[in-house]
Amino acid sequence: MSWQNFLQLAALIAALAITVPPLGRYMANVFGARADGSAPGDRFFRPIERSIYRVCGIDEKREQRWNVYAAAMMAFSLISVLVLYALLRLQGSLPFNPTDRAGVSPMGSFNTAASFVTNTNWQWYSGEVSISHLTQMLGLSVQNFVSAAVGIAIAVALIRGISRTGSRNLGNFWVDLTRGLVRILLPLALVGTVVLISQGVVQNLNGHTAATTIDTTVTDADGNALTTQLIPGGPVASQEAIKELGTNGGGYYNANSSHPFESTNGFTNFMENYMLLLIPLALVFTFGYLVKDKRQTKLLLAVMAGILLVFAVFTSLTEQSGNSALGSLGVDQSISTTQSGGNMEGKEVRFGASACGVFAASTTGTSTGAVNCMHDSFTSLGGMAPMLHMMFGEISPGGVGVGLSGILVLALLAVFIAGLMVGRTPEYLGKKIQASEMKLVTLYILAMPFALLTFAAAAVVIRSAATYQAGPHGLSEVLYNYASTANNNGSALAYQGTGTQWYTVTQGFSMMIGRFFTIIPALAIGGSLAAKPKVPATSGTMPTHNALFGVLLVGVIVIVAGLTFFPALALGPILEHLSL
Amino acid sequence: MRAFIRQLRPALFATVVSTVLLGVVYPLVATGIGQLFFHDKANGSLITRDGTVVGSELIGQTFVAPQYFHSRPSAAGAGYDGSASSGSNLGPVNPDLLAAVQERVAAYREENGLSADVLVPVDAVTASASGLDPHISVANARLQAARVATERGLDVRVVLGLIDDHTDGRSLGILGEPGVNVVTLNLALDDMS
């Protein structure tokens, strides 16, 4: 990494450091931090919210127990899946389809509906080839918003469970959903959209524009003249903004954030990287305000940011140092004043190799999955880093809402293990952690590895599923792609053909297991904790805001992922690296 | 289960409301703002010559004729296919990648009259992520300058000057990496003659 690379990383950290705390505070107020329940912008937002409640028949004063909250979330997800499935199937006969896209196959539609509703945004298809403008707007953009708002709602409900005492209720799902959409995601997305358009990210309703290219002597492989270039259109910027802010990651076009129309220059790349980290980090501050203990924010933030930074710097360094297999072929991969160098296969000149490392770490530490370069062409170790980062359970800082829930669950596991060591009943923020919570924590933690390893093992055994590259890289592809779907990430090692029936179906299920078998236990934990009284801290209480607990928490994260995934990683990326 | 069924009604209405607000109003308002205030950018930064669209400033094109600067290899369709963006996605030790790079290195040296010990800039022999990368590195452009100058009967210093003119620097001086825009550079060369 050159000093410019470090400067860019420093600029990203600075931009986040300035904006994340106030946003976290704002969100805390949106979700009831003030005693009177008021929030900034009430005069503007209240009438909008009230009319939404009226139309939907929601009684905003009526709070829900955890199981009703979960039922509301599941009902909303079910309707979302059905609507999106119908849109995908029928898009061929619907309007706003200037490029004449046909309806998507049943299996493919199931996969994509599951993908966007679970905030995964895994794409087995290529956006510009398969999806109409109408589906992009009514289907995918809408799910980008609401799946993120669901994540925020879940996190807020879990926080209420921790901070309330002797209550049965976690809030009202519909109110939390509406407030997250109207007061947080929509305003931020509108600002982001306008800035992106000002940089050249396209925003129109056109189909392809046919350009007569400059060099008239170009031919295809058969010698036919190739002098027309189809330049794509679409409402891209509006989707790009929420794609990053909602940690969704599904590209309008196949090449995602490496496409010049999704990210035009170094600034848009920086901004998209910033946007995908913004809300997950801010929610950690929201947590501190809502439980009235800002020391917890500092501890969780240090753990999340520490892990993220390690992966960002490591991946930047490995990608910037180049592909050693090209070393003997007469290729100059060095960094100089006239080239940025590095492993440039699958990377764009305007971003450079180093910025790809930072983006890759950010996109896999959150559950975004947007890519500004092709992870499949990363070096062996550079490619293992984003995969391992996902296998940590996406808690650094994690997807919008679900990342915070994830690290809180791991924190419960950490206090439990610490409690066992000293023989005391473990407590977290004054709440006793007992068998019923620990069963739910176990369920939460096992869901992702189960969906990842079971399906990946089956895919390797079933020979018709072999659509990957030869050698250990093929295993890396299978592992990465199930890690991505099971963690609701959505990035891919994209050489592998995943449009087959086996993959569309199993990856559809792995996304749903990864989403709902974590969200529902998280809500159940919230419900169980809300009912408990707060026990006063004594000299025997283990504090959860000091360095010792930080080390313990990192230890739990690393050991859980390491024990689960090391054997598989050894046969994939590690073997590939050693064979160089 | 009763709770679930009772929640289906608000779920249905919430889906309808969010679809209208976020799927219709939001993208159309954004499109309106874009078309009104950033008309050219919102429509793809298109370049026209004599009323014909000849490309976009942001989307690379294939150039094979020797009087043009050549773009990076592309995995988008048959090369720079704007309707099929894609990287090669070849793994780092895939034999196909290594063979392709070896071939491109030899072709690049021959095209530009370089001796066998000149190292070739990595961007010249690797496919970009989008397959539509409009840029090449400055090092790559300078190695091609002599060929382009000879083919066009220009002084090489003029061509090197044009490379500088069409080098997009880092945004705000620090973000991203510099690159030479091959599309606008080649158009500028054509406009000179």
HEC readout, A296-359: HHHHHHHHHHHHHHHHHHHHHHHHHCCCHHHHHHCEECCCCCCCCCCCCCCCCCCCHHHHHHHH
Shortest distance, CA A349 to any CA of chain B (angstroms): 6
Tens-digit pLDDT profile for residues A206-265: 999 999 999 999 998 888 899 999 999 999 999 999 999 999 999 999 999 999 999 999
**Which pLDDT belongs to residue A279?**
98
Instruction: Give chain A positions within 8 Å (CB) of B122.
Output: 322, 326, 331-333, 339, 341-344
**Which pLDDT belongs to residue A227?**
93
Instruction: Give chain A positions within 8 Å (CB) of B31.
Output: 203-205, 235, 238
Answer whether A190 touches B (CB < 8 Å): yes
Is residue A167's pLDDT more than 80? yes
**Which pLDDT belongs to residue A424?**
83
Is residue A580's pLDDT more than 80? no
Give, for B97, the enclosing helix (H) or strand (E): helix B95-111
Q: What's the structural domain count of chain A?
A: 1
Answer whether A220 touches B (CB < 8 Å): yes
Show the domain range for B20.
Answer: 2-41
Give the pLDDT band of residue B113 (cuts 50, 70, 90).
very high
Query: Are residue B114 and residue B34 in the same domain, yes or no?
Result: no
**Which pLDDT belongs to residue A295?**
95
Show the domain range for A509.
Answer: 402-578
Q: For chain A, state the CA radius of gyration.
A: 23
Is residue A457's pLDDT more than 80? yes
Mutation target to probe the A interface, by most A beta carbons within 10 A, among B123, B125, B140, B163 is B123
Q: How much of chain A, in percent, has pLDDT values that exceed 90?
A: 90
Q: Please answer whether residues B7 and A68 qualify as being in contact, where contact means their C-beta atoms are separated by less than 8 angstroms.
A: yes
Q: Which of B9, B91, B123 sits opposite A344 (nearest CB)?
A: B123
Query: Are residue B78 and residue B170 in the same domain, yes or no?
Result: yes
Cα–Cα distance, A225 to A217 (Å, whole number): 7
**Which pLDDT belongs to residue A498?**
85
Instruction: Give chain B positions within 8 Å (CB) of A330.
Output: 105, 109, 116, 118-120
CB contact under 8 A, A174 and B10: yes
**Which pLDDT belongs to residue A327?**
86
Count, residues in chain A: 580
Q: Which of A355, A339, A264 is nearest to A10 (CA)?
A: A355
Query: Are residue B25 and residue B116 in the same domain, yes or no?
Result: no
| Cα separations in angstroms, A499 against A104, A330, A465, A496, B178 | 11, 37, 10, 9, 37
Residue pairs between chains A and B whose CB atoms are closer than 8 Å: 405
Residue type, A245: L
Cα–Cα distance, A573 to A5 (Å, whole number): 26
Q: For chain B, state the CA radius of gyration.
A: 23
Give the pLDDT band of residue B1 (cuts 50, 70, 90).
confident
Give the pLDDT band of residue A161 (cuts 50, 70, 90).
very high
In a domain, A197, yes or no: no
CA within 13 Å, CB half, A306: 14
**Which pLDDT belongs to residue A541?**
86
Tens-digit pLDDT profile for residues A484-539: 999 999 999 988 888 889 999 999 999 999 999 999 999 999 999 999 999 998 88
Instruction: Give chain A positions within 8 Å (CB) of B152.
Output: none
Is residue B59's pLDDT more than 90? yes
Higher pLDDT, A27 or A222: A27
Tens-digit pLDDT profile for residues A558-575: 999 999 999 999 999 999
Q: Which of B12, B83, B101 sits opposite A230 (nearest CB)?
A: B83
**Which pLDDT belongs to residue A199?**
97
In degrees and rounded to multiples of 5, residue A564 shows phi and psi of -80, -40
Instruction: Provide mean pLDDT across the span A133-148.
Output: 96
Is residue B193's pLDDT more than 80? no
Instruction: Provide mean pLDDT across the span A272-283.
Output: 98
DSSP A112-172: HHHHHHTT----SS-HHHH--HHIIIIIIIHHHHHHHHHHHHHHHHHHHHHH--S--EEE-
Shortest distance, CA B35 to any CA of chain A (angstroms): 7
User: Which ipTM value was assigned to this complex?
Assistant: 0.97
How distant is the alpha carbon of residue A34 from its chain centre? 30
Q: What's the structural domain count of chain B?
A: 2
| Cα separations in angstroms, A488 against A63, A369, A482, A525, B48 | 29, 8, 10, 21, 43
Give the pLDDT band of residue A123 (cuts 50, 70, 90).
very high
**Which pLDDT belongs to residue B122?**
98
Q: Report the mean per-residue pLDDT for chain A.
A: 95
Q: Which residues contact A164 (CB under 8 A, 6 or more apart)?
A: A530
Give the pLDDT band of residue A468 (cuts 50, 70, 90).
confident
Instruction: Give chain A positions within 8 Å (CB) of B22.
Output: 141-142, 145-146, 181, 186
Residue type, A110: F
Instruction: Provide mean pLDDT across the span A171-196.
Output: 98
Tens-digit pLDDT profile for residues A77-107: 999 999 999 999 999 999 999 999 999 999 9
Query: Are residue B146 and residue B124 in the same domain, yes or no?
Result: yes
**Which pLDDT belongs to residue A50?**
96
In a domain, A331, yes or no: no
Shortest distance, CA A164 to any CA of chain B (angstroms): 23
Give the pLDDT band of residue B88 (cuts 50, 70, 90).
very high
Q: Please answer whether residues A48 and A182 qualify as being in contact, where contact means their C-beta atoms are separated by less than 8 angstroms.
A: yes
Lowest mean pLDDT among A218-227, A281-290, A297-306, B173-182: A218-227
Query: Are residue B80 and residue B152 in the same domain, yes or no?
Result: yes
Eight-state DSSP code of residue A181: I
| Cα separations in angstroms, A390 against A271, A405, A482, A501 | 22, 15, 10, 25
Query: Are residue B74 and residue B61 in the same domain, yes or no?
Result: yes
Instruction: Provide mean pLDDT across the span B1-19.
Output: 94
Higher pLDDT, B108 or A99: B108
Q: How much of chain A, in percent, has pLDDT values that exceed 70?
A: 99
Shortest distance, CA B191 to any CA of chain A (angstroms): 11
Is residue A422's pLDDT more than 90? no
CB contact under 8 A, B128 and A371: no
Evaluated on CA atoms A19, A22, A26, A29, the torsion sign reads positive
Query: Are residue B64 and residue B89 in the same domain, yes or no?
Result: yes
Query: Are residue B125 and residue B60 in the same domain, yes or no?
Result: yes
In a domain, A216, yes or no: no
**Which pLDDT belongs to residue A180?**
97
Q: Which of A505, A288, A499 is nearest to A407 (CA)?
A: A288
Residue type, B56: S
Q: Which of A382, A387, A386, A389 is nearest to A342 (CA)?
A: A382
Query: Are residue B31 and residue B58 in the same domain, yes or no?
Result: no
Shortest distance, CA B162 to any CA of chain A (angstroms): 15
Is residue A465's pLDDT more than 80? no
Give the pLDDT band of residue A451 (cuts 50, 70, 90).
very high
Q: Which of A516, A68, A82 is nearest to B6 (CA)?
A: A68
In a domain, A482, yes or no: yes
